[in-house]
Structure 1
């Protein structure tokens, strides 16, 4: 067989050097390397052939090519897959070796039979496609100016811990807290699980003794790199990753540094305070100092505190302060809060004798003082688990913490009031961690009563006492409980500020309204917006222990982001203003907010149908991730991706030429590519007529590519991408599904038959790749056979139409 026999084009490709690898003879049974070498040379490129390029001689030659630098030209390794080669040659890639790969091993020789001519012909096609039409995966390395400042939004335990970590790493940190004091809800809920100690403590720094220090005594909170801004809220956010500009509005504390903490202001204040605060002016012990602040939501501005202050430290007149902060990165640590009461009105919320677990936590310290005097606030207390939660009409999810909170409170109540009867009504009691089960056992030992059943409602009797009817599933009977107090274990929801803040930062929310993590397994502290991070319960309910761990992880990731000496970006997309009509389809399609509409310059080119003042799309190259979804979604073909349409179609032409009933497979460069490579390593067999084209993401595929495959004679097309919902570009799988549907309709309009399928898989599913492809090819042939039979039956003159290629013999 000669190179000409397979119809290879001989277009010269200057500056390209093909590195042909025999892989130690493992492909010689079905590949003719002499024909391969001659065929590649016919393309007008230099060919170097080695028994193994990853062996001693091959590596020595590669080192020489690295030293040649630009003089070596563009290198294409014709042999194993890019993933396998990158691992084998890692030491050289670290030294600057750059190459592209044409996989004739895992993608050709190892997965096909012994038809040497057919397999060699395919290998030549694969090599030609890679050599003539680069994948354009080169990276542009640039150092963007990145501010070393960080803004942390939320001063609870997670936000404060992250701010401390970042300050100790050398970053200048602005910690914004909308309330007067740090610590969040942890300061008001008493002892916490799993340790049983108080909530507001942070890990001790190296300069402090012990493993933890109370938030109010932790000297790290007074780090010189850390500026704490209380009563501060974000008004607007502009800029980009590395250079955010954040406008904040700070309300005054109204108590100046002259305060000597005599307490006379608190004694004079006539207004009751919030939870844990006696009056509207209250104090916080902070690093050995006492800071006082006025609760602006409760203060009546009567002036009693200012009149009582002996040093004139209180000023009730100062105005709010507006300031613009600069930050290289932003951390969202806004936490969560109890579900609103309207979700549990059916369980009596808002009536006397009914409260939530959070309200109980805020009362327990006061109840402890009652216990000293032998007073008991209730003889019988009933806790109702999953109050409003795991209910599709109210709160559809489990908040993870409620059961443990109930156990903690039940144990403490029985400890404070041994005569109090405590009953927990539950459907399922969840103690997820290994140590959590000990709390359940401790509650049993303490005499807490457990009733397996969920009350549908809480009524009130004639005396105003709650009445709880519950079906005890364990006993098989209906029980009526008449407690003095009902405590509802309500779920946790995002804070009210989470949604507007996420909108300002361009960060999506998940189905429950929490800040969506970039990846729920691998990148839990990052968000879709580059430079914006999340930690703690802002991304979902977490224990305090988890919040502290999450904060440390977020700080580490932010430090890495801010100190990176260079940031790599895929070569990105660009807009042709001469085609763009400003429809905004790309704006809606981009998962990363990298596309915007701007005013068109008067002299800029524009389509004839577009007004001179019409807007035009613009792509922010720094925000673009190179997925190609915008290019696929543009109805005017006005966006050029690094892997442009011409290159994709040219590859289709090369791979389908000279092949009988070719089947085209588009694969994403992540999960699907890994699955196909692993399948190739296992030598799973499938027909050689299957030709693969790898894309950065399935979102790059457009209906026009699929229709063009049909025009070029493809018998079928499959698209293989990541597991549903796990696309690293967020919506590449959804974009591909939309394009498949559109392509199917367009192909039907032409009267052609070409099955198109979308596969969503992960690397561990590589065991079934060969069988999946074989089955698809069988369905393709069956579809064409049915179409042929239909045409045969419908032939009016009785003539026999030609059989479709590859079908029926």
Structure 2
């Protein structure tokens, strides 16, 4: 096999503290070397392209020693876009620019960096994963979000299976009247195809009849198998009983003698015409007496229908299950009775009837009090803010004052949250309309002898107690995840957040993705949202799914691999994997197994399509049975190479994302720290294990620090948590061995670039035992920020010399 080729770059003479002659001679011992003063010049890039193409044909590794990985990727983007490979050894931001004028020391470190890059590469050249994805999408939830996303995906050319647990599409938007901030109805979708205008009402939008859109009503997802890009989804569908020949004449309803579980409706009822289904039967209360069958003039009622099971093969799954009002137990402390004390949802249903009364000059109640945050923002009930309640109260208050100007409407609140474009206008309009705002919330609602509600509330603004005796109390209750979400997330293997909603991958950058590859979310399934946000997310997720399904496959990300001869089926890796990419299966009889594993023992299997190659599984496997792209051999080799020839080095492991950005930008600033600090880049901080830290100590490291993404912002979700556990294990091992040393974990992002050099200098000084003025040290800590100097408690005692 041909020797690697190293391209040395002098960066136009800006790396004067490196002896390139010496560096060239050292690299020439194990590789062919070509040296240039400016590889990123036009001529240099042309020459590099020729070398890259030749090396690709010969299977020769090409290592560029110069600027940082990020800087080089931008400068050589045109070359790398051709699929040509170029490995980077950072001797500029990671060496020359952050050190002083000691040419001998800086050159020695540059030699170690180049040696490490050549001898211990990240991954084999063939470690690339490609995926083929099916062109079908299963959308779970037929509300506005799910239906809009389904329609847009169908129009993009994908086949869509829309699964809705209720008989009608439209979700809660079809039953809440007007919505804010547009003050029009909620059940409309954006216009599609040749339809004109900006929107079409749900029942007039022909897009839901798209030939590539199949709708499963009264359906739920029973099971999901397969992997991202090729899911097998089992759908269970209950019969609707009323067929599509129904003309909605209403002849069936008068003869029905059974009340539905839906308030005020018979067992056969209509709710909202969504373009296809007109009526349905409440299967929970219907006695199947058959009276409606005899009354139907078009024979549209068929009780012979039975449940059916459908299996769909899909490339992606979208969760759009929405949210629903909090259950009664969350606000029962306010003595809710459904008559004198009701919820905003119930008031919505009453307003249609009240509108008719207003036309007749009647006023149903003279005084009405709304209580905000009823059971919400309360650790005993719902700790979260549902974001919609304040605006719903304002919407209803304004409408009540418009219908009944003489009605007294009071809103009891602690904070009115109108955070949205145009939302504050609703608050101002309510005040102009005469709505009273009382700052304070009652601990309970009592009743007088006549059964009238009595509210005692502390008026915070006036600093006095107020007693209100309204005719009606309306509770602004919070929102909770929709029924069935718990079972659905368990079926899909998707995580939920602390409030029970779907936990999205990244709230800032990837707000429509979940922890499961190929499983997306939009709308209020991920938390309560206004309809304008829901519509925006529906379009966004349709675009994301389209990109996912039409992409050629993920490149450069090979899965970790399990060594069956070492795996004992302990399930540690499956538990630690943040993307549910690892499962335990029955061990094949022909597979090698450790002596301690029985014939019926389990074996960990990694799904290459779900694995994102973070390395957490490889770092946490107690049997060292998982091989990662960045292998343990490569990591141990890098540690040995980087620490070679330096007295009491400080080793720093850092993730290439947030911490890498901070360190790289600090290098751009020439933010100096000692040459004895040796940095090792990882795909994620979760790749580091206690073994790597202990090995660094064995090789003479004076201290080890880990630098990862900003706290709670690991791009692989739990890499920092895993690293902290490994750091604790390493500290115990070192303490038991009598060789404790300073260990620290830092959370960094690009915004911390100004403090990186100072942070490293401080850690190095403490690690090597330099005497420091405590007042100066405290001042430096304050400049950095105490919260960013987090460290694992040291077991070494005062003799350790660290700051913990």
The TM-score with structure 1 as length reference comes to: 0.93
Deviation (angstroms), 1:400: 0.7
Distance 1:426 1:474 in 2: 11
Deviation (angstroms), 1:375: 2.2
**Structure 1 residues 606 and 783 mapped into 2: Cα distance closer, same or farther (>3 Å)?**
farther
Aligned residues: CA RMSD? 2.0
SS in 2 for 1:530: coil
Choose 73-82 or 568-577, whichever is displaced more: 568-577
SS in 2 for 1:415: helix
Aligned pair partner of 2:633 in 646, 664, 685: 646
Deviation (angstroms), 1:284: 5.7
**Structure 1 residues 658 and 143 mapped into 2: Cα distance closer, same or farther (>3 Å)?**
closer
Deviation (angstroms), 1:343: 1.1
Instruction: Write out aligned runs for 1:2-13 (5 A).
Output: none
1:395 partnered with 2:382: yes
Aligned to 1:49: 35
**Structure 1 residues 470 and 598 mapped into 2: Cα distance closer, same or farther (>3 Å)?**
same
1:689 partnered with 2:673: no
Aligned to 2:692: 705
Contact 1:344 1:387 in 2 (8 A): yes
1:760 partnered with 2:760: no
Aligned to 1:18: 6
Distance 1:230 1:73 in 2: 58
Deviation (angstroms), 1:378: 1.2
Distance 1:732 1:345 in 2: 42
Q: Deviations over 1:123-159 (max 9, x none)?
A: 0011100011102285744543311111100001100
Deviation (angstroms), 1:330: 0.4
Q: Deviations over 1:498-518 (max 9, x none)?
A: 111011111000010000111
SS in 1 for 2:624: coil
Aligned pair partner of 1:357 in 338, 341, 344: 344
Instruction: Write out aligned runs for 1:266-665 (5 A).
Output: 266-273=253-260, 278-283=265-270, 286=273, 291-350=278-337, 352-665=339-652
Instruction: Write out aligned runs for 1:644-793 (5 A).
Output: 644-782=631-769
Structure 2 stretches of 5 or more lacking a match? 773-798
Aligned to 1:800: none
**Structure 1 residues 467 and 518 mapped into 2: Cα distance closer, same or farther (>3 Å)?**
same
Aligned to 2:174: 187
SS in 2 for 1:305: helix
**Structure 1 residues 54 and 567 mapped into 2: Cα distance closer, same or farther (>3 Å)?**
same
Choose 33-42 or 201-210, whichever is displaced more: 201-210
Contact 1:353 1:484 in 2 (8 A): yes
Contact 1:180 1:295 in 2 (8 A): no
**How many residues are treated as equivalent by the alignment?**
776
SS in 2 for 1:394: coil
Structure 1 stretches of 5 or more lacking a match? 1-12, 786-803
Aligned to 2:206: 219
1:70 partnered with 2:60: no
Distance 1:746 1:261 in 2: 76
Distance 1:603 1:626 in 2: 27
**Structure 1 residues 290 and 664 mapped into 2: Cα distance closer, same or farther (>3 Å)?**
closer
Distance 2:744 2:600 in 1: 42
Distance 2:192 2:562 in 1: 51
Choose 245-254 or 612-621, whichever is displaced more: 612-621
1:27 partnered with 2:15: yes
Choose 300-309 or 17-26, whichever is displaced more: 300-309
Q: Deviations over 1:419-476 (max 9, x none)?
A: 2111000001110013001001110111111101111111111111111101111111
Aligned to 1:799: none
Distance 2:672 2:800 in 1: 22
Distance 2:58 2:612 in 1: 30
Deviation (angstroms), 1:289: 5.9
Distance 1:565 1:668 in 2: 27
1:61 partnered with 2:10: no
Deviation (angstroms), 1:202: 0.7
SS in 2 for 1:331: strand
Contact 1:569 1:625 in 2 (8 A): no
Choose 265-274 or 731-740, whichever is displaced more: 265-274
Deviation (angstroms), 1:274: 6.3
Aligned to 1:151: 138
**Structure 1 residues 768 and 71 mapped into 2: Cα distance closer, same or farther (>3 Å)?**
same
Aligned to 1:167: 154
Q: Deviations over 1:306-358 (max 9, x none)?
A: 11012222112321111111211000000001111111111122353011111
Distance 2:149 2:289 in 1: 39
Contact 1:86 1:93 in 2 (8 A): yes
SS in 1 for 2:603: strand
Q: Deviations over 1:589-630 (max 9, x none)?
A: 111112122222223222222222222222222221111111
SS in 2 for 1:63: helix
Choose 415-424 or 732-741, whichever is displaced more: 415-424
Contact 1:660 1:806 in 2 (8 A): no
Distance 1:503 1:531 in 2: 16
Contact 1:453 1:470 in 2 (8 A): yes
Distance 1:367 1:492 in 2: 25
